[in-house]
Copies of this chain bind each other. A is one copy, B any other.
Amino acid sequence: MAVGDSMKRVDAYEKVTGAAKYTADLEPKNLLIAKVVRSTIANGVVKGFHLEKALAVPGVVKIVTCFDVPDIQYPTPGHPWSVEKAHQDISDRKLLATRVRYYGDDIAAVIAEDEVAATRAARLVEVDYEEYEPLLTVDAAMAEGAVSIHEEKPDNVVVHSSIKLGDTTYEEASSEEGLFLLDKTYQTATVQHCHIEVPVSYAYMEKGRIVVVTSTQIPHIVRRVIGQALGIPWGQVRVIKPYIGGGFGNKQDVLYEPLAAYLCTQVGGRAVKIELTREETLACTRVRHAIRFEVKAAMRHDGTLVARKNAAYSNQGAYASHGHAIVANAITEFKQIYHDEKALEEDAYTVYTNIATGGAMRGYGIPQGAYASECMMDDLAVGIGMDPLEARLKNCMRAGYVDPHTHITFFSYGLEACIQKGRERFGWDEKRAKYQGQTGTLRRGVGMAIFCYKTGVYPISLETAACRMILNQDGSIQLQMGATEIGQGADTVFTQMAAEVTGITEDKIYIQSTQDTDVTPFDTGAYASRQTYVSGKALKQTGQILKRNILEYANYKLKREIDTMDIRANQVVDAETGEPLLSMEELATEAFYSLDKSVHITAESTYHCKENTLSSGVCFAEVEVDIPVGKVKVLRILQVHDSGILINPKLAEAQVHGGMSMGLGYGLSEQLLYNEKGKPLNDNLLDYKLPTSMDTPDLEVDFVQLEDPTGPFGNKALGEPPAIPTAPALRNAVLHATGVAIDSLPLDPQKLVEHFKAAGLIKEV
């Protein structure tokens, strides 16, 4: 069995030795460097440039400003195109901005022979602005009289949407006698992906078309967006995606590829590269939306959740990017994970502001939604004096759950099993009891959080994937996926799947890691934890076709009925006895070179996926809080996941490790900060506190493996879920340890000290 085997990554050796080629490794000779000139105000209008000094820098080839670019507005998010106008993404930016919407906005670009000249000249560009008051928060942007950041949305509200469940209102339901009523505001922070490889792309022209080599999760979507941004037919763009050093959703936005494409057309088709600095990456790409949740909840003292109300305000930043989809996802999580006996009312607002644009980031709103619902559940449990685990078991979604709006069904339900497995392994009940009633400056506590997560985007959006397989002359196969390896191990699990379905062993399956939109099968790309599920279905179907084509040739050679044969371990065998009949090598060589019947055996197919299923899981955390200094030390952390059958258990574990690590930062230390003018204060990895290996405890991982009937190999989402439950589990552990509920992220020392002072745990001297 190839599926279920923890085979070594197919790219392990390349990546460890440094031989793997990333975008910047592939730069052609004679490459020009472009640097983006960035606004030094957060809100306003560019009135003019003084370029003389910049143009005088030796090596400068050309400077393009916001007054030069095509008057075309285009969208950047990595969503499949919609043929229905109403479902298309918001087109709210041009290649370069005259209307400045955040500090660092792209207003011009310098093209030069080298990095030094480009950087020097970019600094020497002088700009005249008309400046407005920066609107950094949702409240400021929604305030009466606030300037419109985009004229299409005069009130700065991108979208407002609502969910309602139950026959009554929250008001009505919560008026029942004897309920515990909660009324709180939970606030998440603006954080950034911090992938190792910064956004980098270069573009050049070839036969009148534009070729863009880029570090992206979504090459086929990049192709389309460049076409839109430049106003040219999409087929005139070719996008090549080499290995990429992490994306986490930031490379699911089409950030600088359109500008690189445009700039190369301004220098006769010569290659132009845009590679961001770390500072630009932190300040000027995408961030996880800060969302404020105003939550009301009513619970009976037996733990029954009666009704909830939630108003979520998402700080979108300067451009719509993925738009309202993220906060919509957040309030869906809030809806799905617990059941209200009588009523649920939710409202979500996505609001333009003058900070960095919120976009896709691992979990796509669910880390925020789960943070709100998991803080709420612990606060309710504290309120009625119930164990928070029991409160969850009492109210959480059940086997057979069907979303009332999307009809997404929880097929292989493992949520309760995860909770119970984790409870036991973690020693929840013992620890919960043991840490009651602590005093002193060092106090310990345990907390938990649960979540659910859908697999891909059906039926909200399109799920389609294609695959191609080619039989080589020696009986090995080439595997081409439209789906992308972005560091998560996709190439490895696809290799295992191909082995599983074709009977050709993994060592003879050569996956093409580089996607090239000119030749690669179509796929929307790496996001929404969709690839092993959706693209896996395309692979399985294509492998079955390839196998059939191979057995047809075996039928021609051996004159045996196809259905009496199978392929196992690189041999055509008798399906019943397993007796070898013909080696794949012999068959393949004959198929290519037969003078009687030569055929280049290949298979290619699209799978239009109209299924979905839910994954789920739980995080348990044990912390020690040093009260006087506000320091949280994570003693132990465990996640248990319900992700169906694991294709490669070791890689699955690694995936969870990564997500837990991201959750530690989200919970404890990460936050992008701005001054009052909207200028970023910590846009570097010294001041932006990403956890290091020294901040990270052992990461414990467990799984409940239930075969999902809709998964190609019983599998379902695993990519994003590990990033979801850590932050609220930590918050709840601190609550358990100290009795203090911290209702905003991150749990950094300064904030904790303030809360502990307010709670009287620290006395002012």
A83 touches B475 (CB 8 A): no
With contact pairs A13-B207, A14-B206, A518-B512 given, residues A476 and B233 touching in the complex (Cβ less than 8 Å):
yes
Is A81 in contact with chain B by the CB < 8 A criterion?
Answer: yes
Q: Could you tell me the distance between the alpha carbons of A26 and B19 in the complex, rounded to whole angstroms?
A: 17
Is A611 in contact with chain B by the CB < 8 A criterion?
Answer: no
Tell me the chain A residues, 192-218 only, with Cβ under 8 Å from chain B.
205-209
With contact pairs A470-B519, A522-B592 given, residues A608 and B604 touching in the complex (Cβ less than 8 Å):
no
B473 touches A519 (CB 8 A): no
B595 touches A462 (CB 8 A): yes
Is A480 in contact with chain B by the CB < 8 A criterion?
Answer: yes
B600 touches A521 (CB 8 A): yes
Residues of B within 8 A of A606 (CB): 598-600
B608 touches A597 (CB 8 A): yes
Is A589 in contact with chain B by the CB < 8 A criterion?
Answer: yes
A11 touches B207 (CB 8 A): yes
Q: Could you tell me the distance between the alpha carbons of A29 and B230 in the complex, rounded to whole angstroms?
A: 31
Q: Could you tell me the distance between the alpha carbons of A477 and B236 in the complex, rounded to whole angstroms?
A: 10
Is A266 in contact with chain B by the CB < 8 A criterion?
Answer: no
Q: Could you tell me the distance between the alpha carbons of A25 and B206 in the complex, rounded to whole angstroms?
A: 14
State the Cβ distance, A78 to closest chain B Cβ, in Å: 14
Is A269 in contact with chain B by the CB < 8 A criterion?
Answer: yes
Is A135 in contact with chain B by the CB < 8 A criterion?
Answer: no
With contact pairs A234-B472, A519-B478 given, residues A598 and B608 touching in the complex (Cβ less than 8 Å):
yes
Is A727 in contact with chain B by the CB < 8 A criterion?
Answer: no
A464 touches B598 (CB 8 A): yes
Is A75 in contact with chain B by the CB < 8 A criterion?
Answer: no
Partner of A235, one of B19, B29, B234, B475: B475
A19 touches B593 (CB 8 A): no
Is A82 in contact with chain B by the CB < 8 A criterion?
Answer: yes
State the Cβ distance, A114 to closest chain B Cβ, in Å: 16
Residue of B nearest to A472 (CB): B235
Q: Could you tell me the distance between the alpha carbons of A365 and B552 in the complex, rounded to whole angstroms?
A: 40
Q: Could you tell me the distance between the alpha carbons of A685 and B589 in the complex, rounded to whole angstroms?
A: 42
Interface string of A455-499 (1 = CB under 8 A from B): 000000010101000101111111010100000000000000000
Residues of B within 8 A of A227 (CB): 474
Residues of B within 8 A of A604 (CB): 602, 604
Is A508 in contact with chain B by the CB < 8 A criterion?
Answer: yes
State the Cβ distance, A179 to closest chain B Cβ, in Å: 43
With contact pairs A518-B478, A522-B600, A599-B606 given, residues A510 and B234 touching in the complex (Cβ less than 8 Å):
no
Residues of B within 8 A of A599 (CB): 464, 606, 608
Is A224 in contact with chain B by the CB < 8 A criterion?
Answer: yes
A224 touches B473 (CB 8 A): yes
Central interface residue in A207, A236, A477, by most chain B CB within 10 Å: A207
B600 touches A473 (CB 8 A): no
State the Cβ distance, A134 to closest chain B Cβ, in Å: 38
Starting from the known contacts A81-B473, A234-B474, 12 additional A-B residue pairs (CB-CB under 8 Å) come to A13-B208, A19-B205, A83-B590, A235-B473, A235-B476, A462-B598, A464-B599, A466-B600, A521-B602, A597-B608, A598-B608, A600-B606
- A residues sitting closer than 8 Å to B (CB atoms) are 10-11, 13-14, 19, 21, 25-29, 80-83, 205-209, 223-224, 227, 233-236, 269, 462, 464, 466, 470, 472-478, 480, 482, 508, 510, 512-513, 518-519, 521-522, 585, 589-590, 592-595, 597-600, 602, 604, 606, 608
Ranked nearest first, the 4 interchain pairs of A and B with the lowest CB-CB distance are A235-B476, A235-B472, A464-B598, A522-B600
7 contacts between A and B (CB under 8 A): A207-B513, A233-B585, A235-B508, A470-B518, A519-B519, A522-B592, A604-B604
